[in-house]
Chains A and B, each alone.
Chain A
Amino acid sequence: MLKIDPSRCSNSQNACFLTELVRDCTFKVERIYDFRGGKRLNVLKNLVGILDKVEKPSRYIGNEYNSVKKRADMRMCMIFPDLYDVGMSHFGVKILYDIINRSNFASCERSYLPWFDMQSAMVENDVPLYSYESYTPINEFDIVGFTLQYEMAYPNVLRAMRLGRIPSKREERDDGDPIIIAGGPCAFNPAPMEKFMDAFLLGDGEEAIIEILKAVKEGVNRKDKLKKLSTINGVYVPDYNFKVEKRLIADMKKEWAPIDQVLPYTEIVHDRGVIEIMRGCTNGCRFCQAGMIYRPVRERSDTEIFELSSEILKSTGYEELGLLSLSSADHSQIKGTVSLLKEFKDTSLSIPSTRANAFTVELARAINTVRKSGITIAPEAGTQRLRDVINKGITEDDIFGAAKLAIENGWKRIKLYFMIGLPTENDEDVQSIGKMVEKIKKMGFFEVAATVGVFVPKAHTPFQFDPQIMPDEAFRRIKLINWARKFAKLNFTDPRKALIEGVLSRGGKEIGNVIEKAEINDLIFADWDERFTPDKWMELFDDEKIDLEKLMGLKDVKTNFPWDFVDSGISKGYLWMEHQKAISGELTADCRNGCTGCGVCPQFGVDNVIQSEILK
């Protein structure tokens, strides 16, 4: 407790101080944006009373630099169903936020799911979930959009609706409630969340989002709005349309890149300026859902990346710039891009998602900003046979060549990513992970860290037909690698978490009941280790009579999947063919080197946008 020396007390200057006090203690933002009556004032007034009592209050205050306060006829709130620290790093929200706020008829605000302490305080103090721009309760918006980036966040979505006083089931909502829409990769299997969503946007949102806002604006009532939404390409409205093709933009227009990126006060997961250098991936890794559903590849040119990056850094003041893509080292102009971006003084570059080969190390050396303490490569599997099954496209020589080059260039720590439970995996494949870790350690690294995840087959991939190993088997396989702990720090993701993720990702409409009960039972933030309670999930699966063995089991081309009506552009036949090639260990080449016949380009009348090809 502070002890105050009474002799230091003074009342002088208090009188003139008062007028300034009123100004400095008042929250100005709410006055400016209180354009719909007094409700915003109440949210903010109550909010101020509780921020002193919660952990990291800065994650709840909004009012960030570059956030947009705009009056508009149509108001949308984008919600990332996780903590602010995670959600603020998500690039998709930045893109749509920017596009909507530059439109002449709509505004976009943001919200996130508060942590438990804040949720309790909000409920106790009658504060509904609110937007971070105008402190408007989310149920006052015309549209509320959720991004579904990972399945474990499904209960979070329902909690956000509960905190926002929006009925979670679509059948319970009426004309006074917002239209609830979801997008993101998980939306490609809409079934588990169908009970709760009015509509899903599948694929690229840059053009579709404006059409969605217009449809909702023009709709005279809820039914009419949903009917209009169902006519938009890429939008699935349950009960209104029964087949949907993903939305695709042929090219990434420069004006779609968000420049004035909102700056968080609190430290977030990826606290840096972001430029998306490429969308889609041509590698054809068979386990990768993003690589399948975001085809084809669309690269930005090196000069455009430079110009946009310059504007982003100027607008934000960020000291780090991240080049975003699914596989940055594959960008045809990556070397030129990096040398252009090195012109930015006092700015470091980060290039995540690179491949496990020597070029990755060369890139890291070229940007010269990766701390020599750590480099990351992802072999994914321990044997070449299994890497061929998953079509990873890298050899043992690539991996050890990259490690050798890394150590020659001063890296002392290396991080490796692997998966167990991949299709056709045998014990030798698993043990080889340990052998690879041992060999890399013996190359002279001070520290080797290996993260080993349990493979979860995803919808719209060639492995959607494959079984997922159950936790008991996963624990057995983990024991086969445990001996390698003397060479590396081994981190295993919890196999029970993988099982739950598998159920949520490949389940059907029946999973909606599980999600609903999970939220009621407080199984939110399930992806956070400290909040993960697998036994409660298993009880829910039992209660709802979910046949886990069947759901996780082997399927074939005749299986009716809950997502069959969603057309990603890649036919089920192609996925089945890729599945069979996987079983026989046959590789499929990178489609930059020739079409592999997946069908996306002809269906949408597009082609890969490869900048080096354009220059030719």
Chain B
Amino acid sequence: MQPSPKTIAALKAAVFALALVPLGELAAGALFFPDWLGANPGEFIDRATGRWTLRLLLITLCVTPLRAITGWNWLLRFRRMLGLFTFFYGVMHLSSYVTFRRVFDAEEIARDIVERPFMTVGFAALVLMIPLAATSTNAMVRRVGARRWQMLHRLVYLIAPLGVLHYWFMVKRDITQPAIYAAILAVLLGYRIVAGLAAAPSARKVSTGQTV
């Protein structure tokens, strides 16, 4: 299946709009419909942006396996947008924490990041996303070089576990929700390991024949 460029453009616009729905809901709730956000709206925004960051991260990580399984190479064309939306919601999540939870108290924020493991890993995950977002344009891919670009973007395999760990550490007692995210991530990363192992012998054959 190879959709026409027009179809892909339309699909991209649809994905873009869909990815903005959670933000729109939060904004509408904050500005006009307080009941949507409940009794603790600041915390609601904290949690919603955090969960959407993780969800988008997992969706982004679905692209490669889905493409391999279905053979739909055009799926790759959505990966950059999904990755950037992950980063976008991550920034929203941090902003919500800085604004609502810590009310711009720099000292408290620094203490949180240094002293509390769940904050340290969450913050690390977001910081590690910065170079990925910064090198997302075509021009940057060319400048960095495809091979190095790919190496750099393997950081996502570190970022994703850090993100899930951040959620896991944060929960007070009932770990059901973070466990679901962890299980999905385990499948997505596990797939890559299995696929990599399966592909390895043939790759070696190629590499003995010629330099790639």
Say whether A associates with B: no
Could you tell me which A residues sit within 8 Å of B by CB distance? none
Could you tell me which B residues sit within 8 Å of A by CB distance? none
